[in-house]
Structure 1
Amino acid sequence: MRGEWRVRIAAGLALMLALLALLGVRQWRKAVAANADIAALLAGHDIVPERLAVASPPVQLARAVYFARHERYDDALELLDVLETRGDAAFRADVYYNQGNLQLIQALDRVEKSEIDQARVYAELAKEAYRRALLLVPGHWDAKYNLEVAMRLMPEMDRVSHADDEPPRAESKRLWTGLPGFPRGLP
């Protein structure tokens, strides 16, 4: 009797180990496929729609970056809006960071076209996205840096829009040469 139970327990343990190994192989294959999809997107090749239906959030984020590189900003922002609620805090911070980057690119593009009002809207959206990223991951250095860039863009746009509207006046002394409290240079 005792030997029979030992055999059953050993067989059950062997079956559980086999199932765990199969699950591990399955997850490994998914990771390999996701890495291949991300590499293809970053190399400039879109992936087939069948793969997109089952794509993981990191693959979808890579596709948003692909759209941004091909100047399909609306498609990228739409995909990033979907990804805002998926993944852990670090992943969502990266989503907000990429949203901010797209908004900042569009703000700078509007400044070059002298569309200051539209540029101001995009810059505010970029700042909000960077702030959301920093709420999730306070140490996100790239988001901090780009937030500072977006904040410095606004006074420049104010000076450009007011300079066109007002007659020239005597230069006033600027009390601050930059934003206080933000580090300059690398840490």
Structure 2
Amino acid sequence: MNKRTFIVFGFIFIFSLLQILSCGISRKKAVMYNDRIVSLQSEVVKKMLDFSETFNSRDVSLMEQKYGILVSTIDEKLKEVSQIEPFEGDSNFKDTAVSLFQFYRDVAKKDYRELLDIFKKGVERGEFTQQELDKMDAISNAIGEREKILDDKFQQAQKNFAEKYKISLVDNELQKKINNK
């Protein structure tokens, strides 16, 4: 092997090694990016579940407390997810997350507030009218229908992101809990 061939093979080897290493680094960054967004979502969803569970207690002051925590958490996490930079110029996953968080904010400030107000009236009277029960069911069902659409879009954007950057997704225990509710 002459000196020139040796140098060419050396460059090819170094270039290949750098490509392999950079793919590993890029993949690790993609995992961290995904995990950051999912972590923010998980924090919001946990607060939503905490708030929802307070309805079983009929403790209006606890419900108001959990509601306040929920709203402030959503506002905080929406701000955080909005400030995340696109990953390698690709903002689809992040943008879909922002839309989902905006939905959470809108639901909390409008629908959850309305549910809480109706619930408070029923607790104060010691019973709920059929109209109140029907209204709460209608609100809950409408939230579920709208959320499913956005959650499906979020999951598809996450799947596309994972495929593009060749990362594996694992089942989220919190998502399993939500799906079983």
In which range does the TM-score fall when normalised by the shorter chain?
A: 0.3 to 0.5
Superposition TM-score, scaled by structure 2 size = 0.42
Larger Rg: 1
Superposition TM-score, scaled by structure 1 size = 0.41
The structure where helix makes up a greater share of residues is 2
